[in-house]
């Protein structure tokens, strides 16, 4: 038996919808399943949705629509995956890196200092490992300093703060449907916004900026080929049918690990008034996590060090960074544990037993 971090988990209806998509001959980056997928996301999170080939594409479109360009700064979570930051570089703007605090989420105090000193035009906040950031405080700060808020909720579909979906607080939010996420289309993303007009601008840019007013190909600006295939959207529709089940299982897996390992590890906290999807169970240990990583690898159990903060990446050399160094402490001590929703209590017990042996 092998245990992966977060493998795809089919609902069982993927083949039915795929067959329907193929029979309709909409084998294209548009079609009834794309429309249905967008509608279902909209109903679920309560914000207008644009289906795309990735969440990274969504972040890029958000920056482009908001007019972020070469002379601009964009504050961004430091303790995150590089995809939160790459789109800033696509726009030739300058990232300003903001550390996390003891919640593992972006530190509002460090963000405020950066907002005062750097005056970034936008802020990209990651809801890390599927848990909600302190998004109300961050929204207030962005409003106060006049910066656009973009939420990288790639890992946090279905997570809530004060009963409102993460990804819907900012001007834009993104969710990922990459193969390792809570739900997958085999590669895909969704951009959401309550501002219909802004989202329509993103929609036009996602399809090579063809002006929809003309029957011919009319282009006032340059665009991208970022749309989601109807075939992949069919998989997305099948996956959306089991979203609540998947979140409940991820949260259950977290609880099983916590019961097994509470004396041996410190788990990622959940901030008050939030309800995260616990996409990955993550924890910090008192020994070098690479010892656990290598030992478990020999047993077919996949673990992964926590995100290496962006300010430690060669890519980010010379960029401004605000914080207290909490992200790097987490990186030095933490691991992501196998969190696939096919796992049962005895699987978690097997992984936990091997971790205890290492300790």
Applying CB under 6 A, does 154 fall inside the site for ligand PLP?
A: yes
Distance of CA 112 to the CA centre of its chain: 23
Which of the ranges 50-58, 92-100, 243-251, 316-324 carries the binding residues for ligand PLP, by CB under 6 A? 50-58
Provide the 10 A C-beta neighbour count for residue 252. 16
Give kind and range of the element (H or E) at residue 74. strand 73-77
Compose the 163-182 pattern: x for residues touching ligand PLP by CB under 6 A, - for all others.
-------------x-x----
Among 11, 56, 91, 281, binds ligand PLP (CB under 6 A): 56
Q: CB neighbours of 353 closer than 8 A, spacing ≥ 6?
A: 260
Complete DSSP assignment for 242-286? THHHHHHHHHHHHHHHHHHHTTT-EEPP--TTEE---SSEEEE-S
Residues 58-87 that bind ligand PLP (CB under 6 A): 80-81, 83-84
Give the phi and the psi of residue 253 in degrees, each rounded to 5: -60, -45
Residues 91-130 that bind ligand PLP (CB under 6 A): 126
Burial (CB < 10 A; 0-12, 13-18, 19+), residue 166, is: buried
Applying CB under 6 A, does 260 fall inside the site for ligand PLP?
A: no
Question: Least distance to ligand PLP from the beta carbon of 83, Å?
Answer: 3
Nearest CB to ligand PLP, comparing residues 53 and 355: 53
Do strands 172-176 and 148-152 pair parallel, antiparallel, or not at all (unpaired)?
Answer: parallel
Question: Least distance to ligand PLP from the beta carbon of 344, Å?
Answer: 26
Which of the ranges 104-112, 149-157, 281-289, 329-337 carries the binding residues for ligand PLP, by CB under 6 A? 149-157
Residues 186-245 that bind ligand PLP (CB under 6 A): 189
- The answer to whether 348 and 256 are in contact (CB under 8 A) is yes
Could you identify the residue written with the tokens 């988990």?
9
Nearest CB to ligand PLP, comparing residues 55 and 268: 55
Nearest CB to ligand PLP, comparing residues 261 and 274: 274
At residue 336, the 3 state secondary structure works out as: strand
Residues 12-41 that bind ligand PLP (CB under 6 A): none
Contacts with ligand PLP, residue ranges (CB under 6 A)? 54-56, 80-81, 83-84, 126, 152, 154-155, 176, 178, 189
């Amino acid at each position: 038996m092998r245990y992966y971090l977060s493998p795809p988990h089919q609902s069982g209806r993927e083949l039915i919808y795929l067959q329907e998509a193929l029979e309709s001959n909409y084998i294209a980056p548009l079609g009834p399943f794309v429309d249905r997928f967008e509608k279902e996301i909209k109903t679920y999170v309560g914000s207008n949705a644009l289906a795309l080939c990735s969440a990274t594409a969504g972040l890029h479109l958000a920056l482009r629509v908001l007019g972020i360009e070469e002379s601009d700064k964009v504050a961004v979570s430091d303790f995150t995956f590089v995809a939160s930051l790459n789109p800033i570089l696509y726009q030739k703007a300058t990232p300003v890196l903001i550390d996390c605090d003891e919640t593992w989420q972006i530190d509002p105090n460090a963000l405020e200092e950066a907002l005062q000193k750097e005056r970034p035009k936008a802020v990209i906040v990651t809801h890390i490992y599927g848990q909600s950031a302190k998004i109300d405080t961050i929204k207030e700060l962005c409003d106060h300093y006049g910066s656009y808020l973009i939420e990288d909720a790639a890992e946090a579909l279905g997570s809530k703060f004060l009963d409102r979906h993460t990804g819907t607080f900012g001007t834009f939010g993104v969710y990922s449907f990459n193969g390792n996420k809570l739900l997958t289309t085999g590669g895909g993303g969704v951009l959401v916004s309550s501002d219909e007009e802004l989202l329509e601008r993103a929609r036009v840019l996602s399809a090579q900026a063809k002006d929809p007013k003309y029957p011919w190909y009319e282009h006032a600006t340059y665009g991208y080929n970022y749309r989601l295939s109807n075939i992949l959207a069919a998989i997305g529709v099948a996956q959306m049918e089991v979203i609540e089940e998947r979140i409940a299982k991820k949260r259950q897996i977290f609880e099983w690990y916590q019961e097994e390992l509470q004396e041996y590890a410190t788990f990622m906290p959940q901030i008050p008034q939030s309800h995260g999807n616990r996409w990955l169970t993550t924890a910090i240990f008192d020994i070098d996590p690479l010892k656990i990583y290598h030992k478990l690898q020999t047993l077919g159990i996949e673990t992964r060090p926590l995100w290496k903060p962006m300010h430690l990446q060669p890519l980010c050399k010379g960029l401004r960074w605000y914080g207290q160094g909490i992200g790097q402490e987490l990186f030095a001590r933490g691991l992501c544990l196998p969190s696939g929703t096919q796992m049962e209590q005895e699987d978690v017990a097997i992984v936990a037993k091997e971790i205890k042996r290492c300790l």
